[in-house]
Structure 1
Amino acid sequence: MTRTYYGLDIGGTKIELVACGDSLEVGYRRRVTTPTQDYAEFLDTVDALVRSADEELDATCDAVGVGLPGVVDRATGQQLSSNVPALTGRQVGQDLQARLQRPLHLGNDLQCFALSEAHGGAAEGYASMFGAILGTGAGGGYCIEGRLIAGYNGIAGEWGHWGVPASLLAKYELPLLDCACGLRGCLERYVSGSGLAMIHRHLGGGALEASAVVDRVRHDDSTALRALEVHRDLLGHAFASLVMALDPHVIVLGGGLSKFEPLYRDLPDAIAAHLFKGMRVPPILPPKFGDAGGARGAALLARQHGTAP
Structure 2
Amino acid sequence: MRIGLDLGGTKTSGILMNQNGEILARHRVESPRGDYNATLTMLRDMVTHLAGSKGDDIHVGIGIPGSISPATGLVKNANSTWLIGKPLLQDVTQVLGRPVRIANDADCFALSEAVDGAGAGYRTVFGVILGTGVGAGIVSNGALLNGPNAIAGEWGHNPLPWATAGSDPALPCYCGKSGCIETYLSGPGLAKHHAKTSEEIVPADTIALADSPKRKASLMLYASRLARALSHVINILDPDAIVLGGGLSGIHSLYQDVPALWGKYVFSDSVSTPLLRHMHGPDSGVRGAAWLWPA
Q: Could you tell me the TM-score, scaled by structure 1's length?
A: 0.85
Given the superposition, is the C-alpha separation of residues 155 and 67 from structure 1 closer, same or farther in structure 2, using an over 3 Å criterion? same
Cα displacement (A) at 1:124: 1.6
Please give the alpha-carbon distance, in whole angstroms, between the structure 2 residues aligned to 1:234 and 1:254. 17
Q: Hey, what does 1:232 align to over in structure 2?
A: 223
Cα displacement (A) at 1:7: 0.5
Runs of 5+ consecutive residues of structure 1 not aligned to the other structure: 305-309
Residue 25 of structure 1 is aligned with which of 17, 22, 25?
Answer: 22
Q: Hey, what does 1:206 align to over in structure 2?
A: 201
Describe the SS at the equivalent of 2:149: coil
Superposition RMSD in Å: 2.3
Does 1:270 find its partner at 2:264? no
Residue 163 of structure 2 is aligned with which of 147, 168, 178?
Answer: 168
Q: Hey, what does 1:68 align to over in structure 2?
A: 64
Describe the SS at the equivalent of 2:16: strand
1:195-218 Cα deviation digits (max 9, x unpaired)? 22222233322224x223224x2x
Residue 286 of structure 2 is aligned with which of 291, 295, 298?
Answer: 295
Cα displacement (A) at 1:36: 4.5
Does 1:126 find its partner at 2:117? no
Q: Name the aligned partner's letter for residue 169 of structure 2.
A: L
Q: Hey, what does 2:50 align to over in structure 1?
A: 53
Residue 184 of structure 1 is aligned with which of 168, 178, 183?
Answer: 178
Q: Hey, what does 2:133 align to over in structure 1?
A: 137
Given the superposition, is the C-alpha separation of residues 193 and 29 from structure 1 closer, same or farther in structure 2, using an over 3 Å criterion? farther
Given the superposition, is the C-alpha separation of residues 201 and 246 from structure 1 closer, same or farther in structure 2, using an over 3 Å criterion? same
Does 1:38 find its partner at 2:35? yes
Runs of 5+ consecutive residues of structure 2 not aligned to the other structure: none
Given the superposition, is the C-alpha separation of residues 33 and 183 from structure 1 closer, same or farther in structure 2, using an over 3 Å criterion? farther
Please give the alpha-carbon distance, in whole angstroms, between the structure 2 residues aligned to 1:125 and 1:224. 36
8 Å CA contact retained: 1:12, 1:136: no
Please give the alpha-carbon distance, in whole angstroms, between the structure 2 residues aligned to 1:177 and 1:131. 25
Residue 249 of structure 2 is aligned with which of 247, 250, 258?
Answer: 258
Q: Name the aligned partner's letter for residue 270 of structure 1.
A: L
Q: Name the aligned partner's letter for residue 143 of structure 2.
A: R
Cα displacement (A) at 1:169: 4.8
Q: Name the aligned partner's letter for residue 207 of structure 1.
A: V
Q: Could you tell me the TM-score, scaled by structure 2's length?
A: 0.89
8 Å CA contact retained: 2:70, 2:148: no
Please give the alpha-carbon distance, in whole angstroms, between the structure 1 residues aligned to 2:31 and 2:184. 22
8 Å CA contact retained: 1:113, 1:293: yes
Cα displacement (A) at 1:265: 2.0
Q: Hey, what does 2:3 align to over in structure 1?
A: 6
8 Å CA contact retained: 2:132, 2:187: yes
Please give the alpha-carbon distance, in whole angstroms, between the structure 2 residues aligned to 1:292 and 1:92. 23
